[in-house]
Amino acid sequence: MMRVYNSKRNREMNTPHKKAGSTFTRAWEIISQDASIPPEEKKSILRLIQVLIESRERSSSKNGDEDAMSITQEVISKHSLMATVKHQANELDALKRISLNLTSSLDFQTVLDAVVTEAMGLVKDANSAHIFLYERGILDFGASLHADGTRNKAFAIPRENGLTYLVVKSGKQIMVEDMSSHPIYKDAPKNWQGSIISIPLKFKDEIVGVMNVSRSVTGHFSRSEIRLISLLADQAAVAIFNASLYKRVTQMANTDSVTGLPNRRALDERLQEEFVYASRMGLEFAVVMMDLDGFKIVNDTFGHNVGDELLYSLFNFLAQKMRGSDFLARYGGDELTLVMRNTGIDAAQAVTDKVINLMNEYKFHYPEDKNIQLGITAGIAVYPSHAQTPSDLLRAADAALYHAKKYHRGKYAVAKGMTGSLSPIKLRKTEHEE
């Protein structure tokens, strides 16, 4: 339905009021030229000035023109003050939100994702936000967010003569108002257009990364945007450093000091994760407990230092042969535990056969050119066939291992039933014995 407005009234609101004369015309010109006042607010201010001027004129003031201009200046001044206060309040709210979001988690990727999310919200017409982490002279991709919602899409490797490395070298933020014509981007793809600001992420004068925020339009970033992006960068640097430190400490706590593999603590966490996942998705998962046959002779003959070298070499050799989804941990001593997602009994047996036969490929240079034959004995348990909890599943696999070590070294046994009892028929010869 089309609305009809009073044309006379419209003209009065969009052009200087004739009754107010030249005074209102000057007021109108002042406001029109004031770039600090948003266009949508100028009409409202003009209406207010018009009412005040007409009110003064009706009161027959002798200094009508002077009063009118005084009114105009006062209204503009108060509007500017209110706009400034409002703007500052909005900035404080943004900083509070940023602070809460960046300190709510110590998970490294969560922090990175929060930073790029906040960056996108601070810049009008933002096209993308990227974080590159800097360590030992190298920039690595950290996180990204695009205007279409795409998250953590791998970005092009930063060029040594490109913007990101230039920011690292200078330690200062750089703004490019038009990428298509800037020398830095002369060798960049043609679709790289618009403007971009690149800011170093510093923690105690040390650069930990670089944040880039690009726009689809050319031109200068506003002072408010630059100020907020800079404050975000300061907080982001602290959050990234803390998350990185927490990540390293956690990794150390979950890593075996001899082999570098996940330790018993990490194994318990992974078992719980697999249990939750398998329970929710209605899937199986397998646990294989493995013991190194002949290792005691190595320690007794050459000492524990050589024994540690052997464990490091062998266990990492086996780890490199595993599937990407498999989890191999040192359980303790010369024992390994393998956790396999979405794996039933048949698949677990096939993988265990492969691991046992890998011992034929492994070579270790013993002192004095001596040679000790090593082997692997294993026990297999599968959720939910053999246990209903992670701890019971581990015990079932350990019981199967004990059975195989006692009666059939160099082979494996499979747990049977919910009690973890063993099936004597689930014993298989290795290929070199057939």
What are the 10-residue block averages of pLDDT along the chain, 434 residues in total?
42 44 61 66 65 56 54 58 52 64 79 89 90 90 92 78 91 92 81 90 92 92 88 89 86 90 94 94 96 92 92 93 91 94 95 93 87 92 94 95 92 79 43 40
- Let me know whether 222 and 275 are in one domain: no
| Residues 299, 377 within the same domain | yes
* Alpha-carbon dihedral sign for residues 392, 395, 400, 403: negative
Tell me whether residue 370 is in a domain: yes
pLDDT for the residue 7: 44
70 with 119, same domain: the answer is no
pLDDT at 425: 36
- Pair 314, 401 in one domain: yes
- Whole-model pTM? 0.55
**Residue 24 near residue 17 (C-beta atoms within 8 A):** yes
Do 232 and 115 meet the contact criterion of CB atoms below 8 Å apart? yes
Final residue in a domain of this structure, among 252, 282, 310:
252
Does some domain include residue 286? Answer: yes
Tell me how far apart the alpha carbons of residues 118 and 412 are, in angstroms, rounded to a whole number: 53
Residue type, 104: S
In this structure, are 122 and 231 located in the same domain? yes
**Is the domain of 48 the same as that of 72?**
yes
Q: What is the CATH number of the domain that holds 202?
A: 3.30.450.40
Does 124 lie in the same domain as 12? no
Residue 383 CA to residue 145 CA, distance in Å, equals: 39
Residue 196 belongs to some domain of the structure: yes
Q: Which long-range CB contacts under 8 A does 222-231 form with residues at least 24 apart? A: 222/124, 224/87, 224/91, 225/122, 225/123, 225/124, 226/173, 226/175, 226/197, 227/91, 228/91, 228/94, 228/95, 228/122, 229/119, 229/122, 229/123, 229/197, 229/199, 230/173, 230/199, 231/95, 231/98
Q: Would residue 93 count as lying in a domain?
A: no
- Domain residues for 374? 264-433
72 and 19, same structural domain? yes
d(CA 349, CA 362): 21
**pLDDT score at 89:** 55
Q: Are residues 270 and 356 in the same domain?
A: yes
248 and 269 housed in the same domain:
no
Q: Residue 314 maps to which CATH number?
A: 3.30.70.270
* pLDDT computed for residue 215 by the predictor: 93
Residue indicated by tokens 């004068």:
205
**Is residue 119 located within the same domain as residue 199?**
yes
Residue 278's contacts (CB-CB under 8 Å, 6 or more residues apart) are: 284, 285, 341, 342, 383, 384
Domain boundary among 37, 59, 88: 88
96 lies in some domain:
no
Closest C-alpha among 145, 156, 266, 142 to residue 214 = 145
Residue 43 domain-assigned?
A: yes
* 122 within a domain of the structure (yes/no): yes
In a domain, 114, yes or no: yes
How wide is the angle at C-alpha 267 spanned by C-alphas 264 and 269, nearest 5°? 115
Q: Are residues 281 and 307 in the same domain?
A: yes
Number of domains in the chain: 3
